[in-house]
Amino acid sequence: MKKNFLLLAMLTFMWNISAQEKVAWLSFEKAVELNKKNPKPFLIDIYADWCGWCKKMDRDTYANPIIADYINKNYHPVKMDGEGKKPITYKEYTFKYKSEGRSGYHELTALLMNGKLSYPMTIILSKEEKLLDRIPGYLPPKKMEMVLAYFIRKDRKTKKWGEFSKNFKSNIQE
């Protein structure tokens, strides 16, 4: 009986740890709704289904337990398909999918990306839902950790990226 209880306790503990290691992705609409009650910056991962670098970023960066935990605690994490077909209403405007040739794009992701449809793209919005930065391309875990830490700092406006990045100490071991 004791062995069964111990085994069950260990499995529950391990399941809880692994559940905490994943980014709790939200829809854009849900993040906006949650931001009204609990204001936090937004981390928006814009991807495409066919994008190999997007898959690598999911596998290497977002699956890293330190990154996932940091995002879940400090950001409203949003994952958006740059070619998604579901309409999204934001600030009284409905953004839709636009067909172009053999593919297309979603109007909201194109707006967030400033028309540069390059995947993956990491968008950081303030808790007031204002654009802070667009970061194109794959971000390895240590670089993502630095980006995440920089954008939640209160002294971000006075401490420039170069100075911050020189002094940044990562929690990620290689």
Phi, psi values for residue 129, rounded to 5°: 70, 35
What is the Cα–Cα distance from 126 to 115, expressed in whole angstroms? Answer: 20
Question: What percent of the chain stands above pLDDT 70?
Answer: 88
Encode pLDDT of 138-149 as tens digits. Answer: 999 999 999 999
- Does the structure show a pLDDT above 50 at 104? yes
The pLDDT of residue 7 is 44
DSSP 53-93: HHHHIIIIIITSHHHHHHHHHH-EEEEEETT--S-EEETTE
Residue type at 33?
E
The pLDDT of residue 12 is 46
Name the pLDDT band for 17 (thresholds 50, 70, 90). very low
- Does the structure show a pLDDT above 90 at 96? yes
Encode pLDDT of 24-79 as tens digits. Answer: 999 999 999 999 999 999 999 999 999 999 999 999 999 999 999 999 999 999 99
The pLDDT of residue 19 is 45
Domains belonging to the chain, first-starting first, are 21-150 (3.40.30.10)
